[in-house]
Each structure stands twice: as structure tokens, then as C-alpha cells.
Amino acid sequence: MSTVQALPAFARSRSWDLQDLQDVSRRFAFYMLVITGVTVIGFPLFWMLVCSFKGGGELYIFPPTFLPQQWTLQNYRDLFIQTNFLTYFANSLIVACGATAASLFIGAFGAYSLSRFDFIGLKSFSKAVLVCYMLPEVLLVIPLYVFVVQFNMADTLISLIIANTAFTLPLTLWFMRSYFNAIPVSLEESAMIDGCSRIGALWRVTLPLAAPGLVSVGIFSFNHAWNEFLFAIVFTSSETNKVLSVGLATWIGADNIYSWGMLLSAAVLITIPVVVLYLLVQKRLVVGLSEGGTKG
């Protein structure tokens, strides 16, 4: 059999020119860039996970070991026994879920009103909403703290839920308004002709069509509230109302519970809920971000 006959059919059917080589080079460069990006982002997470199973002595040896010489759960046991990690975790979960629910509820109805009803100052209000989102947290923390103290909500989880909702609500309104604008009004009118009220048409027709957008802003709200630090450290002070971000920050430098092993174990457990949530809604999240960015 000759060399030409041994070549695959697709190789015999075409001749490789300079354009083909350029295409292959671009694709190779793209794949290498993706692999490099994934490695840079993923390796710290992998190292954090692996080190959480190392013993105290092995964490400080040099040169460090890539994998634990002896896998152990001692760091996790110490975390639950010696600290209030479960309290912090429960508080963060309450704040994140509460802020997400409030932001979605208020944002969905508010954005629907901005999309479907015309009133004086609509355009100015829409722009003002976006400007409010651009303000950094450090400019909002003092006014919100004054509000919290006046209503006797200092050192409560409710204050954190309100603060996080106030910060994420402008983006929710802006994003969902664009999403509702792209949903034809005729669908709601058809539902109302069939006997639905406006609220019924919103609940049965519009919101299901806007589900990808709701998922997108819900993920953003949850992630922000889960990791938020500034509001939490200003508004709360007691040990029973601390959230994860503040609780773990107080460990650094505290001689009684200072331990890199426990910090790494806590970091792993903090990351798990966000990763699981992203995996559960990743398809809707991609659809919501792509469509929400193009709808106006």
C-alpha cells in the first residue's frame, strides 16, 4: 500500500495551505489560553481543598508536599468543635436567602411596573436606579447604619438582609426591566382575555418566560450577600449574629484559635454552597445572561 493510499480520506480530499495552518495555530493558541486560564483559577481552589486534609505539621514543612502524606479530617473536627462555624454558616445562609428572596420579589414587581406602565419621570427614574447601583458600599454603609439604629435593628440579621437587598435591588430592577421589555404584551393580553387578572397573567405567563433572568439576578444577589463583609462588620457585633465573612476574619491573629488548617477547612465549606448553586442553575444562568445582555 502506498503512502497516499494510507492517508485518511479527509487528508487526501484536500490540500493543506497557509490558511489551514493559520486556523490550526489560532485554535491551538485559543486552547492553550483556555487551559492556562482554568489552571490559574482552578489551582488555588485545588490547593485549598488538598491542604485542608493535611495535618498541622505538614502544612508548614518546606518544600511543601503536593498531596497529603496522611489524609486527615482533624482540621474539620477542630473547626466544628473549637469554633462557632455552624452558627456563622447558618447566619450567612439566612442572610443570603433572605436578601435574594427580597431582591427577586421587589425587583420582579418593580421591573414589571417600569416595563408595562408609563408614568412621569420613567426614564429619569430608570437612570437613577443604575446610578444607585454604581455607588460603592462604603458610601452607603453610614446612611444605612443610621437607618438601622433609628429603627432598633442594630446587631440583627434583618439589618443585613435589608442592606444587601438595597445594594442589589438596582441591578435587579435594571436587568429585569430589560427582560420584561422583550416579552410581548400580547401574551399577557391573551391570558387576560381568557379570564386571568393582570397579576394572574404576570404569575402564569410573564414570570415563567422571565425565569432565566430571575435565575441570573438571583445568583448575583445570593453570591453578593454570601460574601459581603462591610455591612456585616458594621451592623453586627455579637457572636450569635456574626456571618461567615466576619467570623473567619476575626480568627486571623486570634491566638486562641489561630490555625491555617481550620481556615482552609472553613474556606472549603464556604465555597461548596456557591459551587453547588452554580452547577444546579448553570444552563438557565447562561441563557439569562446572554439574553438579558441583548434585550432592551
Neighbour tally for 180: CB within 10 Å: 23
Under-70 pLDDT residues of the chain: 1-18, 121-123, 126, 253-258, 283-296
CA dist list (Å): 43 to 37, 51, 222, 252, 253: 10, 12, 25, 23, 26
**Terminal-to-terminal C-alpha distance of the chain:** 63
| Residue 140: Cβ-neighbour burial (10 angstroms; 0-12, 13-18, 19+) | middle
Question: Contact at 8 Å (CB) between 198 and 188?
Answer: yes
pLDDT at position 292 is 43
The pLDDT value recorded for residue 15 is 54
Predicted pLDDT at 17:
62
User: What is the per-residue pLDDT for 60?
Assistant: 76
Find the DSSP H helices in the chain.
3-6, 9-12, 18-51, 56-59, 74-82, 85-116, 122-134, 137-150, 157-181, 185-193, 198-201, 207-209, 211-227, 230-235, 244-251, 260-294
